[in-house]
Amino acid sequence: MRTPGGRSSGECLTRRTALHCLALSSMAGLLGEGRRAFATEADGARPREGDRLAAEDAEGNPKALKLQDVKIGDKPLGAFPFNPADGIKREGSRLNRIILVRFDSRDLTPDQLARSVDGVFAFSGVCPHRGCDVTEWNDKDRMILCYCHLSQFDPRDQGAVFAGPAPRPLPILPLKSEQGEIVIAGEFSSEPGGAKAID
């Protein structure tokens, strides 16, 4: 193994070089701790502008989602934020779960279309009622559905509550696209997560 000074452990033989190697090893340990702390902080950080939305491929590696991966009328597609520059998957916090739904652009008003990217909308995947995973779809009304207590959210109205006990809208995440990939364009409209106590 090599230390940051390029000295191998086999070279740490004399008392003088041993002390030198000990100092370098400690420094390497501190640098490693720093990198681990940074990675932990970064992968739990909220999605930020420029992150891709990704899913895992068959080997568990992040694969940036493209617009055509989100099908019109399908149930919500789960995704997580991913920074391709440093390879960090922001999966350290469950509150970073994101879901994507898509509408035919011709069915959207100009305002709705402006809040989407080519008809694709992104929302928090955590229900603001009691924090269940939001995974389902009411195809008849075209609403996002949380099965825990049947709250429904309107993707075309910025996640407004359409039915059920949820006390507030599902946070929406602004999007843009680059070379066909879905890219995060800003922060959640409000803090994701469920209420701690509900009457």
- The residue ranges that bind ligand FES (CB under 6 A) are 127, 129-130, 132, 146, 148-149, 151, 164-166, 194
**Which of 119/125 has CB closer to ligand FES?**
125
Distances (CA, A) of 122 to 34, 130, 164, 169: 33, 20, 21, 13
Nearer to ligand FES, 92 or 194 (CB): 194
Within 8 A by CB and 6+ apart from 89, the residues are 43, 54, 62, 80, 81, 82
Between 178 and 191, CB nearer to ligand FES: 191
Minimum distance from residue 134 beta carbon to ligand FES (Å): 7
Least Cβ distance, residue 133 to ligand FES (angstroms): 9
> What's the rounded Cα separation, in Å, for the pair 185 and 165?
30
Select 149 or 176, whichever has its Cβ closest to ligand FES.
Answer: 149
State the nearest-atom distance from the C-beta of 138 to ligand FES, in Å. 13
Contacts of 62 (CB under 8 A, 6+ apart): 52, 54, 55, 56, 80, 82, 87, 89
How far apart are CB 90 and ligand FES at their closest, in Å? 23
